[in-house]
Structure 1
Protein backbone atom coordinates (compact mmCIF):
# COMPACT_ATOMS: atom_id res chain seq x y z
CA UNK A 1 0.00 0.00 0.00
CA UNK A 2 1.61 3.30 -1.03
CA UNK A 3 1.77 6.29 1.31
CA UNK A 4 -1.05 8.25 -0.39
CA UNK A 5 -3.39 5.26 -0.29
CA UNK A 6 -2.51 4.64 3.36
CA UNK A 7 -3.18 8.27 4.33
CA UNK A 8 -6.46 8.30 2.39
CA UNK A 9 -7.53 5.12 4.19
CA UNK A 10 -6.67 6.65 7.59
CA UNK A 11 -8.72 9.75 6.73
CA UNK A 12 -11.66 7.61 5.63
CA UNK A 13 -11.50 5.60 8.87
CA UNK A 14 -11.25 8.77 10.98
CA UNK A 15 -14.34 10.22 9.28
CA UNK A 16 -16.15 6.91 9.80
CA UNK A 17 -15.20 6.86 13.51
CA UNK A 18 -16.33 10.46 13.94
CA UNK A 19 -19.68 9.82 12.24
CA UNK A 20 -20.25 6.71 14.34
CA UNK A 21 -19.54 8.65 17.55
CA UNK A 22 -21.92 11.41 16.51
CA UNK A 23 -24.68 8.86 15.84
CA UNK A 24 -24.08 7.14 19.20
CA UNK A 25 -24.17 10.45 21.09
CA UNK A 26 -27.38 11.49 19.31
CA UNK A 27 -29.05 8.16 20.16
CA UNK A 28 -28.44 8.37 23.92
CA UNK A 29 -31.21 10.22 25.73
CA UNK A 30 -30.26 12.56 28.56
CA UNK A 31 -32.60 10.76 30.92
CA UNK A 32 -32.01 8.50 33.86
CA UNK A 33 -31.90 4.81 32.90
CA UNK A 34 -35.27 3.13 32.90
CA UNK A 35 -35.66 -0.22 34.58
CA UNK A 36 -38.85 -1.05 32.72
CA UNK A 37 -39.07 -4.48 31.15
CA UNK A 38 -36.95 -4.79 28.06
CA UNK A 39 -34.99 -1.57 28.66
CA UNK A 40 -31.44 -2.04 29.84
CA UNK A 41 -29.45 0.54 31.75
CA UNK A 42 -26.44 1.83 29.84
CA UNK A 43 -22.99 0.53 30.72
CA UNK A 44 -21.52 2.73 33.48
CA UNK A 45 -18.67 4.98 32.38
CA UNK A 46 -15.15 4.62 33.74
CA UNK A 47 -15.79 7.71 35.83
CA UNK A 48 -18.99 6.23 37.30
CA UNK A 49 -17.12 3.07 38.29
CA UNK A 50 -14.20 5.03 39.75
CA UNK A 51 -16.56 7.20 41.80
CA UNK A 52 -18.40 4.16 43.18
CA UNK A 53 -15.13 2.43 44.11
CA UNK A 54 -13.86 5.60 45.78
CA UNK A 55 -17.10 6.02 47.73
CA UNK A 56 -16.96 2.42 48.94
CA UNK A 57 -13.34 2.81 50.06
CA UNK A 58 -13.73 6.13 51.88
CA UNK A 59 -14.05 4.34 55.21
CA UNK A 60 -11.26 1.89 54.42
CA UNK A 61 -8.00 1.97 56.29
CA UNK A 62 -6.24 -0.07 53.61
CA UNK A 63 -3.73 2.19 51.87
CA UNK A 64 -3.36 -0.06 48.81
CA UNK A 65 -7.10 -0.07 48.22
CA UNK A 66 -7.23 3.70 48.49
CA UNK A 67 -4.29 4.07 46.10
CA UNK A 68 -6.03 1.79 43.59
CA UNK A 69 -9.27 3.79 43.87
CA UNK A 70 -7.33 7.00 43.27
CA UNK A 71 -5.55 5.44 40.28
CA UNK A 72 -8.94 4.40 38.80
CA UNK A 73 -10.33 7.88 39.31
CA UNK A 74 -7.30 9.52 37.69
CA UNK A 75 -7.52 7.15 34.74
CA UNK A 76 -11.26 7.84 34.32
CA UNK A 77 -10.53 11.57 34.32
CA UNK A 78 -7.72 11.00 31.83
CA UNK A 79 -5.35 12.53 34.37
CA UNK A 80 -3.23 9.47 35.09
CA UNK A 81 0.47 10.32 34.91
CA UNK A 82 1.77 8.89 31.63
CA UNK A 83 4.40 9.94 29.15
CA UNK A 84 3.42 11.96 26.09
CA UNK A 85 3.56 9.00 23.70
CA UNK A 86 1.26 6.87 25.88
CA UNK A 87 -1.16 9.78 26.31
CA UNK A 88 -1.36 10.20 22.53
CA UNK A 89 -1.84 6.44 22.01
CA UNK A 90 -4.71 6.36 24.53
CA UNK A 91 -6.37 9.41 22.99
CA UNK A 92 -6.31 7.90 19.49
CA UNK A 93 -7.46 4.49 20.77
CA UNK A 94 -10.37 6.04 22.67
CA UNK A 95 -11.56 8.46 19.98
CA UNK A 96 -10.63 6.61 16.81
CA UNK A 97 -10.97 2.83 17.36
CA UNK A 98 -11.15 2.10 13.62
CA UNK A 99 -7.90 3.95 12.98
CA UNK A 100 -6.27 2.17 15.92
CA UNK A 101 -7.33 -1.20 14.52
CA UNK A 102 -6.05 -0.26 11.06
CA UNK A 103 -2.64 0.74 12.44
CA UNK A 104 -2.45 -2.40 14.58
CA UNK A 105 -3.17 -4.51 11.49
CA UNK A 106 -0.39 -2.77 9.62
CA UNK A 107 2.05 -3.45 12.45
CA UNK A 108 0.84 -7.03 12.70
CA UNK A 109 -0.12 -6.40 16.31
CA UNK A 110 -3.68 -7.75 16.03
CA UNK A 111 -4.33 -11.48 16.37
Structure 2
Protein backbone atom coordinates (compact mmCIF):
# COMPACT_ATOMS: atom_id res chain seq x y z
CA UNK A 1 0.00 0.00 0.00
CA UNK A 2 2.81 2.44 0.83
CA UNK A 3 4.62 1.77 -2.43
CA UNK A 4 1.60 2.80 -4.44
CA UNK A 5 1.24 5.92 -2.33
CA UNK A 6 4.92 6.80 -2.95
CA UNK A 7 4.50 6.12 -6.66
CA UNK A 8 1.48 8.40 -6.78
CA UNK A 9 3.43 11.13 -4.95
CA UNK A 10 6.38 10.74 -7.31
CA UNK A 11 4.11 10.90 -10.34
CA UNK A 12 2.36 13.96 -9.02
CA UNK A 13 5.69 15.70 -8.32
CA UNK A 14 6.93 14.78 -11.77
CA UNK A 15 3.77 15.98 -13.42
CA UNK A 16 3.85 19.25 -11.45
CA UNK A 17 7.50 19.75 -12.34
CA UNK A 18 6.86 19.01 -16.02
CA UNK A 19 3.87 21.33 -16.07
CA UNK A 20 5.86 24.17 -14.54
CA UNK A 21 8.78 23.49 -16.85
CA UNK A 22 6.62 23.49 -19.97
CA UNK A 23 4.87 26.67 -18.83
CA UNK A 24 8.20 28.44 -18.32
CA UNK A 25 9.54 27.30 -21.67
CA UNK A 26 6.39 28.45 -23.45
CA UNK A 27 6.48 31.77 -21.63
CA UNK A 28 10.07 32.34 -22.66
CA UNK A 29 9.35 31.37 -26.25
CA UNK A 30 6.41 33.75 -26.45
CA UNK A 31 8.08 36.60 -24.56
CA UNK A 32 7.48 39.82 -26.43
CA UNK A 33 8.34 43.31 -25.16
CA UNK A 34 6.48 45.01 -27.98
CA UNK A 35 2.92 46.11 -27.45
CA UNK A 36 0.03 44.81 -29.49
CA UNK A 37 -0.93 48.30 -30.53
CA UNK A 38 -0.78 48.56 -34.35
CA UNK A 39 0.57 52.08 -34.09
CA UNK A 40 3.77 50.82 -32.43
CA UNK A 41 4.19 47.43 -34.02
CA UNK A 42 3.04 47.98 -37.58
CA UNK A 43 6.55 47.71 -39.04
CA UNK A 44 7.55 44.45 -37.36
CA UNK A 45 5.97 41.07 -37.69
CA UNK A 46 5.31 38.99 -34.61
CA UNK A 47 8.32 36.75 -35.23
CA UNK A 48 10.56 39.80 -35.68
CA UNK A 49 9.27 41.21 -32.40
CA UNK A 50 10.14 37.99 -30.59
CA UNK A 51 13.61 37.88 -32.17
CA UNK A 52 14.22 41.51 -31.21
CA UNK A 53 13.08 40.80 -27.67
CA UNK A 54 15.47 37.87 -27.43
CA UNK A 55 18.34 39.95 -28.82
CA UNK A 56 17.57 42.70 -26.34
CA UNK A 57 17.63 40.23 -23.44
CA UNK A 58 20.90 38.72 -24.66
CA UNK A 59 22.57 42.14 -24.97
CA UNK A 60 21.26 43.28 -21.59
CA UNK A 61 22.52 40.12 -19.90
CA UNK A 62 25.94 40.47 -21.57
CA UNK A 63 26.15 44.14 -20.55
CA UNK A 64 25.20 43.38 -16.96
CA UNK A 65 27.73 40.56 -16.84
CA UNK A 66 30.48 42.87 -18.09
CA UNK A 67 29.59 45.53 -15.51
CA UNK A 68 29.50 42.98 -12.69
CA UNK A 69 32.81 41.41 -13.71
CA UNK A 70 34.48 44.80 -14.15
CA UNK A 71 33.27 46.10 -10.80
CA UNK A 72 34.40 42.94 -9.04
CA UNK A 73 37.91 43.22 -10.51
CA UNK A 74 38.54 46.84 -9.54
CA UNK A 75 41.16 47.30 -6.84
CA UNK A 76 40.12 49.69 -4.14
CA UNK A 77 42.89 51.49 -2.27
CA UNK A 78 42.27 52.40 1.35
CA UNK A 79 44.46 55.05 2.91
CA UNK A 80 45.48 54.38 6.49
CA UNK A 81 47.63 56.89 8.34
CA UNK A 82 49.88 55.68 11.13
CA UNK A 83 51.35 58.44 13.26
CA UNK A 84 53.82 56.29 15.16
CA UNK A 85 55.26 53.06 13.81
CA UNK A 86 58.45 51.08 14.21
CA UNK A 87 60.78 49.88 11.49
CA UNK A 88 59.36 46.36 11.94
CA UNK A 89 55.86 47.67 11.29
CA UNK A 90 57.07 49.47 8.19
CA UNK A 91 58.88 46.40 6.85
CA UNK A 92 55.83 44.22 7.45
CA UNK A 93 53.56 46.69 5.65
CA UNK A 94 56.08 47.07 2.84
CA UNK A 95 56.07 43.29 2.39
CA UNK A 96 52.26 43.13 2.36
CA UNK A 97 51.67 46.20 0.17
CA UNK A 98 54.81 46.80 -1.91
CA UNK A 99 53.24 49.04 -4.55
CA UNK A 100 51.02 51.24 -2.43
CA UNK A 101 52.88 51.96 0.79
CA UNK A 102 53.86 55.56 1.39
CA UNK A 103 55.65 56.73 4.53
CA UNK A 104 55.51 60.42 5.31
CA UNK A 105 57.93 61.80 7.87
CA UNK A 106 56.19 63.94 10.43
CA UNK A 107 59.05 64.32 12.86
CA UNK A 108 62.80 63.86 12.86
CA UNK A 109 64.08 60.62 14.32
CA UNK A 110 67.65 61.95 14.37
CA UNK A 111 68.19 65.67 14.87
CA UNK A 112 70.08 67.36 12.07
CA UNK A 113 72.71 68.62 14.50
CA UNK A 114 73.94 65.07 15.02
CA UNK A 115 75.25 64.65 11.47
CA UNK A 116 75.25 68.14 9.98
CA UNK A 117 77.09 71.20 11.16
CA UNK A 118 76.63 74.48 9.38
CA UNK A 119 78.68 77.58 10.18
CA UNK A 120 78.37 80.19 7.48
CA UNK A 121 81.01 82.87 7.03
CA UNK A 122 79.66 86.06 5.61
CA UNK A 123 81.91 88.42 3.63
CA UNK A 124 81.32 92.09 3.27
TM bin (shorter chain): 0.3 to 0.5
Normalising by structure 2, we get a TM-score of: 0.31
| Larger-gyration structure (1/2) | 2
Higher relative contact order (CA 8 A, sep 6+): 1
Structure with the bigger percentage of helix: 1
Normalising by structure 1, we get a TM-score of: 0.34
